[in-house]
Chain A
């Protein structure tokens, strides 16, 4: 699993509460990504990071923010969770320099349920 851990692995929360998901990597990779996966949609990119304090938006970034204060940690925050954010969230890293030939490797995922 390319040295990627995600926490928590499962979380149930209520609408309107803030939620932070953590992705931790041990191999000093520069690029990190957050995806969500929903039935019928495959994986969709939320945000990604290309270095400490360097982040950019993906396809479905509304309602999400990220932070990366250390190389090894990439945090995804839902400021005020909604039921539409119920999903499985995957963190990923690339093993290269952010080029098209890089391969992305995924963490184990976090299943989030917003009631």
Chain B
């Protein structure tokens, strides 16, 4: 059983629309949740982190956390072609707060 699961996609969204990326995790003790963006051939770069239940907004990005449902999501408003990338969900793992467990990533394509 995977600890962190994402739909691998590809997810195709028209330019200007809202892209919704989802992630579920199995460890109820997880405390910190991160979204990374990775362009093809590049390293992951942090978009947002969230620790508390609810929504956290940063520009066009909103992270949503529901610990009761063990669910975290990332919304991208006004999607741009430059948002086309793979999005990785990461969760602090069972064995130590500093070790991240990643999902397999969702490939997002924004169509002009």
Contacts and interface: CB of A to CB of B under 8 A. Distances in A.
Interface of A: 1, 31, 33, 35, 40-45, 48, 50, 58-59, 90, 94, 98-109
Contacts of B96: 98
A17 B23 CA distance: 39
Given A42-B104, A100-B51, 13 more contacts: A31-B98, A33-B99, A42-B105, A44-B102, A45-B100, A48-B98, A100-B97, A100-B98, A101-B32, A102-B98, A104-B90, A106-B43, A109-B43
Nearest to A103: B46
B31 interface: yes
A60 B30 CA distance: 20
A43 B98 contact: no
A98 B100 contact: no
16 contacts: A42-B6, A43-B88, A43-B102, A45-B99, A45-B101, A48-B99, A50-B98, A58-B99, A98-B96, A98-B98, A99-B97, A100-B31, A101-B32, A103-B49, A105-B46, A106-B44
B102 A42 contact: yes
B86 to A, nearest CB: 9
Contacts of A58: 99
Nearest to B45: A106
Contacts of A44: 102
